[in-house]
Amino acid sequence: MIAYGSTDFHNKLDMIINFTQDYSVLYNKYDIIEISDIGQISMSWERMCSDMLQEPETLYKLMTLYMLDRVNFPLTNSQLSEFFLDKEYTTYMTLQLVLNDLVEAGLINSHKVGNSTHYEISSDGREALNFFIGDISAAAMADMDEYLENNKYSIRSAVDTTADYFRSGGSYTVHCVSREGSGPLLSIDISVPDERIAADMCANWPARSQELYSHIMLSLMGSDKT
C-alpha cells in the first residue's frame, strides 16, 4: 500500500490526473477544491485508484502506452486504429480523443510524416505505465502482443519506409526515405512536374525502395552489370 501523503502518493495522483484529463472528476467526487488540498481526501488510496481506472478511456490510454512501450520504433495512427477497431475495443473517434489527451499530457510524443501521424512513448508515459500496468487485463495484453507479433514486419516497414511531396515553385518535390534503426538508410528528393506524378511516386515507394537501394549501391560501387 502507498502511504497516504507520501511522495509516491502525490506522484501517482498526478499520473491519474494526466490520464483522466478531467480535474472536475477529482474536485467533485473527492471534494478537492485545489490540487494542493490533497489532505482533504478521506478515502483509501485503493478506492480512488479503482474509481479512476475503471473509466474506459483511461484503460485505452494504458493500452496505447503498453503498445508503444513494446516496440522500439513509432506506431502510426492507422496502426493503432487498426488494432483498437478490429478488436472492437472502442470507436475511431474515442481513440483520437485518447491519443490527443496522451499527447497533451506529455505521455506520448507525436510527429507528422507525410499524411500520417507517428506516436512514441515518452519517459513520463513509461513511468505512468509502470505505475498502472497491473490494471491492464491479461486478455488485453495477449491481444496487443499477438497483434504486434503477427504484424511486426508490415508495422516496421510502414514506419521505416515513408514518402511525401510538397509544392516547390512551379513543380513538386517528392521526398522518399528508407530508415534502418534510428537513422536514414536512403533519402531521395526528386522534382516532378505535376501532383499526380508526385502522388504516384509516393504510393510506389514502399514496394520499390529496396530494389532502388540495391540498384544505387551496385551502380555506385561499379558493380551494376545492366
pLDDT of residue 109: 95
Q: Are 131 and 219 in contact (CB under 8 A)?
A: no
Q: Are 110 and 91 in contact (CB under 8 A)?
A: no
Q: How far, in whole angstroms, is CA 104 from its chain's centroid? A: 13
Supply the angle between the helices 56-69 and 45-53 in degrees, to the nearest 10: 80
Sheet containing strand 116-121, strands side by side = 75-76, 116-121, 108-113
Assigned C-alpha cell, 31 = 471534494
pLDDT score of 99 more than 90:
yes
Assigned C-alpha cell, 155 = 508495422
Distance CA 57, CA 94 (A): 8
Q: What is the pLDDT of residues 121-154, one digit of tens each?
A: 999 899 889 888 888 999 999 999 999 999 887 7
Distance CA 212, CA 163 (A): 14
Residue 193, C-beta contacts closer than 8 angstroms, at least 6 positions apart: 171, 172
pLDDT score of 191 more than 70:
yes
Q: What is the pLDDT of residues 41-75, one digit of tens each?
A: 434 444 444 444 456 788 899 999 999 999 888 89
Report, as an integer, the average pLDDT of 179-186.
70
Report, as an integer, the average pLDDT of 184-201.
88
All domains of the chain, ordered by start, with CATH?
A: 7-53 (no CATH), 56-150 (1.10.10.10), 159-220 (no CATH)
Assigned C-alpha cell, 212 = 532502388
pLDDT score of 27 more than 50:
no
